[in-house]
């Protein structure tokens, strides 16, 4: 069973950093997945000088390294959902209540918290095809 | 015999009234901001400010066109007279209470302007025409109430983001990051043109309207605002059209007098 935090706005990198640090400080999360639309670093745009266009940086402010706990990770998405896989044996109701307190403080524009299965539990046909291609 | 007066759009809800208002050629859109001609040209990205319009044919006056009754009746637009090339502007509207929506903008352009070809898809509105005609209509569409700096965007391609949640500043997501919210000034600035080419200096397009104001001006029907089914006259007309087209497709004689 997983817990999903679904804020009513897409989050900035600094807010994601604060939320992650708060979640990790609870000591109940095994894995955290950050989900959202991809932020490309470069884009090819038309150019009068170059027929095939030129590569420019998009300049997204949220494309940066964020630090939480003792880890640092390069954010590549505009975070829209945070999916948390809790450590086995944790009381999910207690965990989600603590998450609700964190979200009440850090997400003033509103949020929803759901419990359920949000990730695949076993490989599917497309995973098998990817493995085959890698070989 | 009186001339036919179009009813434009049915319904009595706020959104229906706004649709009629924006589609009516007699409506003068309320001007909310100013953008200079130079800044507009920079954001559209088809030529440099001050550069002459490129042409695809000589001016119509110099061309020996064959005698034609339609050519006598139809006055060419200024872009056509000059022989401008065809260029475009493309708008995207957020589903979160942006003032306009793609289909309504297309209907409005068909009724209000000549010589333009407005396309429509679920997430974008390309408007094609002669370059100077496109610039003229883009200026009106950006300076007036049918544009909101945060919820409406000028995007030539990679339009993804109209149906995503807004970000923390209330801005629509843009993968190419053509614009940003300047927190210090409280305005939206375009840092790239609609084609994604970076600008030398940002172009300000004004302050976003507060959400309460946008809810009064929007043409959108939403479950958390004005529901489509709550507008009974509108629903009645939609039902009538669907019923008549189904019945007449089966038996045209069966719908006489309905």
Which whole number is the average pLDDT over B154-175?
95
B125 and B232, same domain (yes or no): no
Phi, psi of B92 (to 5 degrees): -125, 140
Task: Tell whether the model's pLDDT for residue B1 goes beyond 80.
Answer: no
pLDDT tens string B17-35: 999 999 999 999 999 999 9
> What pLDDT is recorded for position A132?
87
B106 and B140 within one domain: yes
Q: Do residues B163 and B127 touch, judged by C-beta distance below 8 A?
A: no
Residue B164's pLDDT is 96
Which chain A residues contact residue B173 at CB under 8 A? 10, 37, 78
- What is the rounded average pLDDT of the residues B34-58? 95
Mean pLDDT of chain A: 92
Nearest to A60 among B161, B166, B177 (CB): B177
- A76 Ramachandran zone, left/alpha/beta (phi>0; psi -120 to 50): alpha
Nearest to B192 by CA among B176, B175, B169: B176
Per-residue pLDDT at B75 exceeds 80? yes
CB contact under 8 A, B180 and A47: no
Which fold is adopted by the domain A2-134? Aldehyde Oxidoreductase; domain 3 (3.90.1170)
The model's confidence at residue B4, banded by pLDDT at 50, 70 and 90, is: confident
Query: What's the pLDDT band for B65 if we cut at 50, 70, 90?
Result: confident
User: What are the φ and ψ backbone dihedral angles of B76, each rounded to 5 degrees?
Assistant: -70, 155
Average pLDDT estimate for A13-27: 94
What pLDDT, in 10s, does the model give residues B222-253?
999 999 999 999 999 999 999 999 999 999 99
User: Mutation test of the interface with chain B: which of A11, A15, A58, choosing the one with the most B Cβ atoms within 10 A?
Assistant: A58
Candidates A15, A40, A58; nearest CB to B168: A15
Cβ pairs bridging A and B (under 8 Å): 55
Q: Compute the mean pLDDT over every residue in chain B, rounded to the nearest whole number.
A: 95
Domain that holds residue B192: 14-52+86-220
Q: Which chain B residues touch A58 with a CB distance below 8 Å?
A: 175-177
Phi, psi angle pair for B206, to nearest 5°: 105, 180
Rounded to a whole number, what is the distance in Å from the CA of A97 to chain B's nearest CA?
A: 24
CATH of the domain at B137: 3.90.320.20
- For residue range A60-76, what is the model confidence (pLDDT) as tens digits? 999 999 998 788 899 99
Same domain, B47 and B133: yes
Average pLDDT over residues B167-176: 95
**If you measure CA to CA, which chain A residue comes closest to B48?**
A48
Do B244 and B117 lie in a common domain?
no
Predicted confidence at residue B199, as pLDDT, reads 95
Mean pLDDT, to the nearest integer, of B64-82?
Answer: 93
Q: How many residues does chain B have?
A: 258
CA distance A68 to chain B (A): 21
pLDDT at B105 over 80: yes
β-strand partners of B129: B87, B116
As a whole number of angstroms, the distance between CA A108 and CA A131 comes to: 43
Q: What is the mean pLDDT of residues B191-210?
A: 95
């Amino acid at each position: 069973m997983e817990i999903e935090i679904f804020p009513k706005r897409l989050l900035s990198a600094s807010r994601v950093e604060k939320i992650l640090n708060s979640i990790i400080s609870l000591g109940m999360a095994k894995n955290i997945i950050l989900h959202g639309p991809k932020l490309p670093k470069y884009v090819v745009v038309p150019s009068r000088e170059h027929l095939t266009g030129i590569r420019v940086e998009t300049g997204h402010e949220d494309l940066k390294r964020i630090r939480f706990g003792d880890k640092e990770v390069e954010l590549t998405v505009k975070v829209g959902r945070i999916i948390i896989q809790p450590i086995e044996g944790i009381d999910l109701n207690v965990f989600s209540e603590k998450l609700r307190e964190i979200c009440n403080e850090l997400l003033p524009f509103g949020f929803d918290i759901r419990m359920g299965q949000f990730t695949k539990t076993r490989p599917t046909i497309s995973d098998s095809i990817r493995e085959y291609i890698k070989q | 015999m009186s001339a036919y007066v179009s009813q434009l759009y049915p319904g009595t809800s706020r959104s229906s009234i706004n649709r009629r208002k924006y589609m009516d050629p007699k409506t003068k859109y309320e001007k909310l901001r100013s953008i200079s001609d130079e800044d507009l040209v920079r954001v559209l990205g088809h030529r440099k400010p001050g550069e002459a319009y490129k042409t695809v044919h000589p001016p119509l006056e110099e061309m020996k066109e064959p005698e034609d009754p339609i050519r006598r009746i139809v006055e060419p637009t200024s872009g056509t007279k000059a022989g401008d090339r065809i260029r475009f502007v493309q708008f995207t509207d957020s589903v979160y209470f942006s003032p306009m929506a793609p289909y309504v903008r297309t209907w409005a352009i068909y009724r209000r302007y000549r010589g333009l070809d407005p396309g429509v898809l679920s997430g974008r509105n390309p408007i094609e025409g002669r370059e100077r005609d496109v610039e003229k209509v883009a200026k009106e569409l950006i300076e007036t109430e049918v544009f909101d700096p945060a919820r409406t965007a000028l995007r030539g391609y990679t339009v993804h983001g109209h149906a995503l949640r807004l970000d923390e500043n209330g801005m629509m997501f843009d993968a190419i990051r053509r614009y940003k919210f300047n927190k210090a000034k409280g305005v939206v600035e375009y840092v790239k043109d609609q084609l994604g080419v970076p600008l030398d200096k940002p172009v300000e397009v004004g302050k976003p309207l507060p959400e309460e104001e946008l809810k009064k001006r929007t043409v959108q029907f939403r479950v958390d605002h004005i529901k489509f089914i709550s507008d009974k006259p509108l629903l009645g007309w939609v039902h009538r059209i669907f019923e008549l087209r189904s019945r007449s497709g089966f038996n045209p004689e069966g719908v006489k007098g309905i």
